[in-house]
Amino acid sequence: MDKKKFSIKSLSIKNLSIQSSIFMYFTVTAIIAIALISLIMFQRFTNSLNATIIEENSGIIGQLGESIDSYLRNSMKISDSIYYNVIKNTDISGEDIKKGMNLIYVNNDNMIDDIALISGKGELIESMPALRLKDNSNVLESNFFKKSMAESEYIHFSMPHIRDLFDQNESSYSWVMSLSRAVEVTDEGRATQAVLLINLNYMFFEEMFSNVNLGNGGYIYLTNDEGDIIWHPRQNEIYSGRFKENNKYVSTLKDGITVENIGGKQLTLNVRTIGYTGWKLVGVTPSAALNIDGIKFRFFVLFVADLFLFLLAMINAFISNKISNPIKLLDGRVREIESGNLNVEIVPSGSYEVEHLGNSIKNMLSRIKVLMSDLVDEHNAKRKSEFDTLQSQINPHFLYNTLDIIVWMIENEKPDKAVSIVTALAKFFRISLSKGKNIITVKDEVEHVRNYLMIQNMRFKNRFEYSIDVEDDILSYSSLKLMLQPLVENAIYHGMEFMDGDGKIEVRVFKENDSLYFTISDNGLGMSEDVVATLLSKDIIPSKKGSGIGVKNVNERIKLYFGNEYGLKVESEPDEGTKITIHLPAIVYGEKDEDR
């Protein structure tokens, strides 16, 4: 047991794996940070948030209560203005009362649907706008009339109801709240009792509630002093019985904030009494909503999350730097090696795995240097050997037959033709050598194939015709040496085999955009699709009289010198002929690669 403890204590951090180091540091740090923050801050966040939401809701309810109180007082002031400024100073038998009521109605038509002055006998004295009581209406039995006459010293507000006292017009059957009071009127000098009725626009009243929101699940409603609901956001559901409100119980509560368990739900109730009327404004907030709602709570959580992430980022930066710096250093060296710099100095450091990896890369780099040196030497030797072989592949039969033709011409006293063919042969071999260069001008390459065609045309005794078309402005561009001659040779030996004076070989060189194109076309036997498909994958077996330079050889040399996007394209049909297109970059000779 003691030995095991000693082994664990003596274990160096350096010998731990990267995964173990990161796991140990980050796990311990995260657990400690989360535990401390959760234990210390969670309760404070919850309590502070709940208090903030309740305070905000209380402010909203207070503002709404003040608006309702102001609305009711304005309504009472309108009633006072009609009574004291119009009715008391005017005899109802004259026209002045009508003018006075009309002026007040017009100035407050946004709040008032109509104004009516009803005598103690239930007869309509005056109204604004002009109204007429329904024939079957019994005003004397109406609640507002009886209540106003019985308690003449008070102003009375009714519950919201359908306006159905008067004959139908455009505003009949709309929802209103009635304000009524007993008044004393003068009729031809005699004082008598009457009732002033003002129907208040309920929609104007309802608009005050439309923009009030207590958050998720919270709402506000209004009752009268007896607990009857005046306004509720789910009023239609209450009337239809689909929703039940505990308004009767709530109306017995005192003003302030209480937490009640109603219907199995814990609710936070905020009750406020509206001044003169005794109406109660009730704010209801489910306790569950207090834990998830509120802008301040979200901001507070965001702040704590940011602080937590910042602390973790600082700690993780320190830990990750401690662990990853050796890896970053090694990665930088490897990137330099990838870019082609093999002279990088690698100093292994860090944990056991990183140090071992650094030593392995260092040893591998040394071996790569040796192998690349050997490979470069071998590649250079191979290229030189291939090129030497290529040049030596000019078949002796071609030279022998050409010299035989020259002798025949001299013997037959045709010195001019002999001179021409000797000159062409000399130019042919001079360009073939080209001082050891592989890249020559288009002019020299075309001249080389021209001399070759002239010699072969004499050898084959004009069995075929040939033409060479090249644009003058591209003669100075770069071309690969011995590129056209092998392809023309194939056209002669394979395409013209059974032609008897009808053969045609066309060589064309032109430039398009940034590319040079060489085309060799013949009207020979052509090839099938299968032969064309395999033409560039294997060398064509040369005829005994050919140079032995295959089409594949030319294609590979082009790709070697200019890139894989360049090379040959072969098009052929049996008995129709063959067309080979060479694609090269348009590079002016001497700008680069002229010495290759």
Question: What is the pLDDT, as a whole number, of residue 386?
Answer: 62
**b/e string for 240-254 if b means 16 or more Cβ within 10 A?**
eeeeebebeebbeee
Q: How far is CA 328 from CA 224, 321, 336, 341, 358, in A?
A: 76, 9, 12, 18, 11
- Whether 104 contacts 78, CB under 8 Å: yes
Question: What is the pLDDT, as a whole number, of residue 399?
Answer: 62
Q: Provide the mean pLDDT of the chain.
A: 77
Q: Domain residues of the chain, as ranges?
A: 88-205, 393-585
Cα–Cα distance, 468 to 450 (Å, whole number):
8
Check if 88-205 and 393-585 are the same fold: no
Q: Nearest to residue 53, comparing CAs of 214, 213, 211, 210?
A: 214
Give the ranges where 393-505 is alpha helix by DSSP (H): 396-411, 415-433, 442-459, 484-490
pLDDT tens figures, 336-383: 777 777 777 777 777 777 778 878 887 887 888 788 777 866 765 665
Cα-to-chain-centroid distance, residue 71: 51
pLDDT tens figures, 113-133: 889 999 888 888 888 887 788
pLDDT tens figures, 563-581: 889 999 999 888 888 999 9
| Distant-in-sequence, close-in-space partners of 509: CB < 8 Å, separation ≥ 6 | 442, 446, 469, 470, 471, 474, 516, 517, 518, 519
Give the CA dihedral 375, 380, 381, 384, nearest 10 degrees.
160
The pair of three-digit structure tokens given for residue 239, joined into one six-digit string: 């009337």
pLDDT tens figures, 28-62: 676 677 667 766 666 676 667 677 777 888 888 88
Single-letter amino acid code for the residue at 401:
N
Domain 88-205 has CATH 3.40.50.300: no
3-state secondary structure 416-441: HHHHHHHHHHHHHHHHHHHHHCCEEE
Q: Which residue has the higher pLDDT, 478 or 320?
A: 478
Cα–Cα distance, 114 to 133 (Å, whole number):
13
Cα–Cα distance, 82 to 191 (Å, whole number):
17
Burial class (CB in 10 A: 0-12, 13-18, 19+), 585: middle
> In this structure, how many other beta carbons lie within 10 angstroms of the beta carbon of residue 50?
17
CA angle 229, 234, 238 (to 5 degrees): 60
The predicted model scores a pTM of: 0.46
Superfamily of domain 393-585: Histidine kinase-like ATPase, C-terminal domain (3.30.565.10)
Cα–Cα distance, 229 to 210 (Å, whole number):
16
- Whether 287 contacts 257, CB under 8 Å: no
Q: How many CA atoms lie within 13 A of 297 on its CB side?
A: 21
Cα–Cα distance, 90 to 188 (Å, whole number):
10
Question: What is the pLDDT, as a whole number, of residue 404?
Answer: 62
Cα–Cα distance, 395 to 407 (Å, whole number):
19
